Structure formats: structure tokens, C-alpha cells
Amino acid sequence: MGLALLLGVFALCVVIGTPVAFALGIAALSAFWFEGLPLFVGFQRIVSGINVFSLMAIPFFIFAGELMFHGGIAMRLVRFAQSAVGAVRGGLGVVNVFSSMLFGGISGSAIADISALGSILVPVMKDKGYDADYAVNVTVTSSIAGIIIPPSHNMIIFALATGGAVSISKLFLAGVVPGVLMCICLAITAYIVAVKRGYAAEKFPGWTVLALNFAAAIPGLLTAVIIVGGVLSGIFTVTESGAFGAMYAFVVTLFVYRSITWEKFRIAVISSVRTTSMVMILIACAGAFAYMLTFYRVPTKTVDLLTGLTDNPILILLLINAVLLLLGMIMDMAALILICTPIFLPVMNALGIDPLQFGMILLVNLGLGLCTPPVGTCLFVGCAVGKLPIEQAVRTIWPFYLAIFVALMLITFVPAISLTLPGLIGP
């Protein structure tokens, strides 16, 4: 009865439009009250949910991403990508994917990717004769590279949700190959669709232009190298690397590119504060919600349920993927990471799946959910940027969904894709 109350109150709050963070908190406190537990313990669980030092890295990563978004780094990455891979049939589609891979690995945000790259590439693609739905679909689906390719604040949230079972530095490494693999699948799909639609190829600008554009992009690209490299080398903790990355992004945009103005800086600060506030409130309330899930033994019951249905690990993995995909279509990503991790991680442990691999499976599934209706944040933002009705985008986006699904299946059933790089730095 208590579990039904917990889930029922949460579902009711979401249906009537309550923000997910507050829905989690209200549901958790309702369950505390129903079970006769002191409410002050519930509030303690909420506060303890964000009383974790490593979470301080999140506002730094978000701020660094906002500075790079507003500071002109995206434009230089696009120019480099266009000069490098634009000279193929439908080259701007491949450029879009390649740019997302580069910028996503710096900003760590799918929304920042769409906002920065979409506002640049979608109008250019339209002017070059590309259909609006193609331009938007490539932009939307490739944007989730920012979730998987490090650094990513969603990886930090996942590490927190595992209760310290995974190292953030190893998690960063685990995301490199899956992220690149997904982008390769999307680039191939973008090329095939472009050929079928008869899009023209761009002219190769020459090696000199390529070298100049690469040189201009280097300061921005070094942001990811500094953040991830600092953590892996042990020079920085994750929090220190985030702080240094934010300072480096500020120096690059102010003194190297000279593209950040006071107004843009103000907008970046305000946007960072808003995003950080939403994330932290969500993490805090999810802490109390996860506590009640554990109180009702949901993780243990989930293991028993899935293993009772079948003892075939392949079927269980497919079932978990299906559940995560469905949930990703209707709920916020950060909330699902915090809710689903303690539920499904014990199942993965029982199957012998490494938590790092599970992290990649979870992030790719939920990233795909950001591109799908009815609550596809990336899809909505991409259609707004491209001035395209959502229905029109959804009708032709399925080849790109299929590309991500292929990458997801490879990540799910080929552990080496996620585990090879982390294995290089020892246990």
C-alpha cells in the first residue's frame, strides 16, 4: 500500500503539471507520513541528497558549457568540421554530426549542442537546399553525443546514484567509444539519407583552409582535454577540473577569441544558475524518493521479478532497454538516472554486467528519450530552432532513431565497447 501511495502521488503530481523535482519530494514525504516515519528524517534525506562534495563539479561544468555556447567556440568547431568532412554527398549532414561530437565533448549538454550548433547549421543547410526536416533530425539526434562523450554532468549524477560504485574518471573514459560509435552510426545514416534525397556535395576548401580552421578550433578543443585529462592524470579532482575548465573557457572566450561580451557573460551566468538550481533540487528530492524505494525493497523485488520471468540474460537486457526507452519518452533524464539506477543496478550486478557498461546503456537509452515525443526536450528545441512542426520532423526521423538503436544494441551486448578504455587505468 505504501509503495502504491509513493508511485501514485508521484504520477498524479506529474500528470497535473507539477515539476518533476517537486513531484519526487511530495511523493517521498507522503510515503514518510503514511509509514509513520518522522518527517524531519525525510527532510534530512532531501538535504543529504546534495551534501556530496563531488556534486560541486556540476555547476562548474554547466557554467563552462554556457561560456563556450555564448563565446563563439561552436562557430569555430563548425568551420573546422565543414572543412574536414564537408566534401561528401550531403556533407553538411555529416558536418552536423561531427560538430556535435566535438562540441558535445566540450559542453556536456544536449540542449546547448542544439542551441549552439542548430542555430548555426540549420539555416545554412536550408540555404544549401537541404530539407528542413533533415536538418532538424540530424541536429536533434546527434545532440545526445553531449550526454555520452565526456565531460558530462549526467555521468556525475549517475556516479552519485550508484552510491560510489563507479569512478567518475573511469565513467568519463567509458563514454568515449560509445559516443564516437553512436556518432559514426548517425553519420552513416545522414550520408545514406542525403544520397537518397539527392543532396549535393560541398567543395573541399583545400588543406590550407583545413589547417587554419583546425588551428582556430584548438583552444576550444583543449577544454575537453584539460577537463578529462586532468581527472585521469590525477592532477585534478573532478570538482577541481570543472572549476579549471570554467576558468579556461572564460579566458579563451575573453582573451583568445575575444567573442564574449558583458551581456553574453551575464546571460551565461543566469542560465547556469537556473540550470544548476533545477538539477540540485531534483537530486535533493530524488534522494528522499530513492530512500523510500529502498525502504519498500523495490530493487530486490525488481531483481526477483525479472529473473523470475526468464533466466536468459539477453532477454532481461532487452526488457530493461525497453523499459528505459519507454520511461525516457515521458520523464526528465536526470530524474530517471536517480530513480532507475538503484532499481536496475542490482539486476545488472546479478547478470554480471559491469556498472560502467550499465551507465552507458542507461545514458544512451535516456538520451534517445530526449529525441522522442511526447516529452522529447531535444526534439522540441530542435524544431523550434529549425522552425519546423514537430509532426513533420517525427515522420522522417526514424532512420536516425534506428542508427542510435543499432549503437545501443552494440553497447548492450559488446562489453568491450564501454570497458576497454577504463580497463587501461587499472582497477
Beta-strand (E) ranges in 171-328?
Answer: none
Confidence of residue 245 (pLDDT cuts 50, 70, 90): confident
Residue among 86, 82, 89 at smallest CA distance from 192: 89
Q: What is the pLDDT of residue 310?
A: 76
The single-letter DSSP state of residue 200 is P
Out of 1-15, 160-174, 296-310, which region has the weakest mean confidence (pLDDT)? Answer: 296-310
CB of 129 within 8 A of CB of 199? yes
The single-letter DSSP state of residue 88 is S
Whole-number percent of the chain with pLDDT over 90? 14
Q: What is the pLDDT of residue 427?
A: 58
Q: What is the pLDDT of residue 104?
A: 67
Q: Which three three-digit cell numbers place residue 347?
A: 539486476
Average pLDDT in the chain? 83
What average pLDDT does range 42-51 have in this prediction? 78
SS3 of residue 89 by DSSP: strand
Confidence of residue 178 (pLDDT cuts 50, 70, 90): very high
> What distance lies between CA 357 and its chain's CA centroid?
15
Residue among 374, 401, 332 at smallest CA distance from 140: 401
CB of 269 within 8 A of CB of 260? no
pLDDT at 340 over 70: yes
pLDDT at 230 over 90: no
State how far the Cα of 149 lies from the Cα of 146, in Å rounded to an integer: 6
| Rounded (to 5) percent helix, strand, coil in the chain | 80, 0, 20
Q: What is the pLDDT of residue 185?
A: 94
Confidence of residue 108 (pLDDT cuts 50, 70, 90): low
What average pLDDT does range 332-361 have in this prediction? 88
Kindly report, residue by residue over 189-206, the tens digit of the pLDDT: 999 998 888 887 777 777
Which of the residue ranges 21-25, 57-61, 230-234 has the most confident prediction, judged by mean pLDDT? 21-25
Kindly report, residue by residue over 23-37, the tens digit of the pLDDT: 888 988 898 888 888
The single-letter DSSP state of residue 87 is S
What average pLDDT does range 259-275 have in this prediction? 86
Whole-number percent of the chain with pLDDT over 70? 96
Q: What is the pLDDT of residue 85?
A: 72
Q: What is the pLDDT of residue 419?
A: 93
> What distance lies between CA 333 and its chain's CA centroid?
8
> How many CB atoms are located within 10 Å of the residue 413 CB?
14
Q: What is the pLDDT of residue 106?
A: 62
Q: What is the pLDDT of residue 105?
A: 61
Q: In a 10 Å sphere around its CB, with 0-12 CB exposed, 13-18 middle and 19+ buried, how is residue 353 labelled?
A: buried
Question: What is the CA angle 315-318-320, rounded to 5?
Answer: 110
Residue among 105, 274, 286 at smallest CA distance from 180: 105
What average pLDDT does range 371-396 have in this prediction? 81
Higher-pLDDT residue of 399, 306? 399
State how far the Cα of 176 lies from the Cα of 145, in Å rounded to an integer: 10
Q: What is the pTM of this model?
A: 0.83
